């Protein structure tokens, strides 16, 4: 039994470039596909409302947001809210699809999804279209040789990255850098799970890597689809940066790096020393507390867990002003919070650790997480956020080590003396 193709929405972020928009819409009109799709032009506050040329043969909706700077992430989100399509294809306004683009993206998205969401990146190539007439550019997109168009080098960092990961089939957590929003497709379920693009990104770059990071943690499968080819008019960002001064290029890239360090907690993105609102490791302390000095063992355990790692601790059973309060001293640490872990924090944390009794580990918490998923029943459980979101089975159990050298998990007695514990006596 064959199923009808899912409805598709193509979202085009746009700002004040009518000739290029017209050309892009004409390129979408010549798609060779059996898939019904609609187009949403998301205007990022252009001085004049974009004009939709007649005779496209596809439904087109125009939506607008105020001009508050370069807000491509917010524009894409706006466009996505104005289509009920099951599959969302994002295509930048300066990127022109070849006639097989939509069909190739849809086919790969449908084949890829295993129930945890799918993300597909098309192939973006670069050309200098110069002043070639629009009809000639459309012929070029169809594969014809057209004089006056110069094909530019493909960015080596993308080409090599897709080759190394077998077109993202063997991608790992560091490969979010291979996700580019200019030629991006996701299914609606994944889009809803990750909350779309982060609309707080203003300025060029970074929002697609942030979305890719959250999609990875959400459990999505990724793919790069070479058959979904679209042409960008001009070089990629690296090529444009090479033509500017080194200082200007570094400033632009550093602006992006500083923004991403707030939301992607990998050491390769933010280093290892900062204490930021978004931790790499989320710890939930699920045991009882009293809000008095009787919580000394809890305090000792949390101090040990936080030592030298990028982590935050939440006490879901505690409230800021209720009878179940945070243990004394811990309330003064900005990494320790009462209540549930916010959803936005969970979407970006690599690891989730549950602790039910005061304990200390034989190695720093980040090393224990890097060792793999495991649990000691009734004491501690270490899970990867991606594994949890993919519904993978519980990790192997490890017993509490007997007294001896280098135990993996050592309980902290309720009657611990903090003076002796911290003093090493």
Q: Phi and psi dihedrals of 63, rounded to 5?
A: -125, 150
Which pLDDT value is given to residue 137?
A: 96
Which pLDDT value is given to residue 229?
A: 98
Q: How far is CA 149 from the centre of its chain?
A: 35
Neighbours of 8 (CB within 10 A): 23
- 195 neighbors 107 (Cβ within 8 angstroms): no
Strand locations in 179-275, DSSP E?
A: 183-187, 221-233
> Burial code of 300-310, b = ≥16 C-beta within 10 A, e = fewer?
bbbbbbbeebb
Q: Which residues pair with 380 in a beta bridge?
A: 355, 376
Which pLDDT value is given to residue 396?
A: 77
Neighbours of 51 (CB within 10 A): 11
Q: Is 316 exposed, middle or buried (0-12, 13-18, 19+ CB in 10 A)?
A: middle
- DSSP conformational letter for 409: E
pTM of the prediction?
A: 0.92
Which pLDDT value is given to residue 3?
A: 56
Nearest by Cα to 75 from 207, 229, 213: 207
Which pLDDT value is given to residue 403?
A: 47
Neighbours of 215 (CB within 10 A): 26
Which pLDDT value is given to residue 127?
A: 96
Going residue by residue through the chain (425 aa), what tens digit of pLDDT does each one get? 455 666 999 999 999 999 999 999 999 999 999 999 999 999 999 999 999 999 999 999 999 999 998 899 999 999 999 999 999 999 999 999 999 999 999 999 999 999 999 999 999 999 999 889 999 999 999 999 999 999 999 999 999 999 999 999 999 999 999 999 999 999 999 999 999 999 999 888 899 999 999 999 999 999 999 999 999 998 887 655 555 555 655 677 899 999 999 999 999 999 999 999 999 999 999 999 988 899 999 999 999 999 999 999 999 999 766 667 898 899 899 999 999 999 999 999 999 999 999 999 989 999 999 988 998 888 999 999 999 999 999 877 765 544 444 458 899 999 999 999 999 88
Torsion over CA: 401, 406, 411, 416 (sign): positive
- 223 neighbors 118 (Cβ within 8 angstroms): yes
What the chain holds in terms of domains, given with CATH numbers, is 8-264 (3.90.550.10), 281-423 (no CATH)
- 374 neighbors 396 (Cβ within 8 angstroms): yes
Question: SS3 sequence, 72-92?
Answer: HHHHHHHHHHCCCCCEEEEEC
Strand locations in 59-173, DSSP E?
A: 60-64, 87-91, 95-97, 118-128, 150-151
CA distance 123 to 184: 9
CA distance 376 to 385: 18
Which pLDDT value is given to residue 405?
A: 42
The CA R_g of the chain, rounded to the nearest whole Å, is 25
Q: Which helix (H) or strand (E) holds 311?
A: strand 311-315
């Amino acid at each position: 039994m064959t199923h009808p193709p899912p409805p598709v929405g193509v979202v085009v972020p746009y700002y004040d470039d009518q000739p290029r928009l017209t050309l892009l819409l004409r390129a979408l009109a010549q798609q060779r596909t059996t898939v019904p799709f609609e187009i949403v032009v998301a205007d990022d506050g252009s001085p004049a409302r974009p004009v939709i040329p007649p005779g496209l043969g596809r439904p087109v909706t125009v939506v607008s947001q105020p001009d508050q700077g370069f807000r491509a992430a917010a524009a894409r989100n706006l466009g996505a809210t104005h289509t009920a399509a099951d599959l969302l294809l994002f295509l930048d306004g300066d990127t022109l699809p070849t006639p097989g683009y939509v069909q190739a993206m849809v086919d790969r998205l449908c084949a890829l999804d295993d129930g945890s969401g799918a993300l597909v990146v098309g192939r973006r190539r670069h050309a200098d279209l110069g002043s070639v007439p629009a009809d000639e550019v459309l012929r070029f997109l169809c594969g014809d040789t057209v004089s006056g168009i110069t094909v530019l080098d493909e960015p080596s960092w993308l080409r090599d990255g897709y080759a190394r990961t077998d077109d993202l089939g063997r991608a790992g957590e560091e490969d979010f850098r291979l996700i580019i929003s200019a030629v991006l497709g996701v299914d609606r379920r994944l889009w809803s799970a990750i909350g779309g693009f982060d609309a707080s990104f203003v300025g060029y770059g970074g929002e697609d890597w942030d979305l890719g990071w959250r999609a990875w943690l959400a459990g999505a499968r990724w793919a790069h689809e070479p058959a979904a080819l679209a042409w960008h008019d001009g070089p990629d960002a690296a090529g444009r940066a090479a033509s500017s001064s080194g200082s200007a290029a570094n400033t632009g890239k550093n602006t992006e790096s500083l923004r991403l360090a707030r939301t992607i907690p990998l050491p390769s993105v933010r280093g290892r020393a900062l204490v930021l609102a978004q931790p790499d490791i989320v710890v939930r302390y699920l045991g009882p507390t009293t809000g008095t000095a009787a919580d000394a063992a809890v305090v000792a355990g949390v101090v040990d867990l936080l030592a030298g790692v990028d982590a935050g601790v939440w006490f879901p059973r505690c409230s800021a002003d209720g009878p179940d309060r945070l243990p004394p001293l811990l309330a003064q640490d900005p990494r320790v919070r009462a209540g549930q872990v916010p959803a936005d924090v969970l979407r970006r944390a690599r690891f989730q650790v549950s602790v039910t009794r005061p304990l200390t580990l034989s190695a720093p918490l980040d090393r224990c997480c890097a060792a793999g998923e495991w649990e000691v029943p009734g004491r501690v459980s270490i899970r990867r956020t991606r594994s949890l979101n993919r519904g993978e089975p519980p990790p192997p159990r490890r017993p509490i080590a007997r007294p001896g050298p280098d135990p993996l998990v050592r309980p902290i007695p309720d009657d611990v003396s903090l003076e002796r514990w911290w003093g090493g006596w």
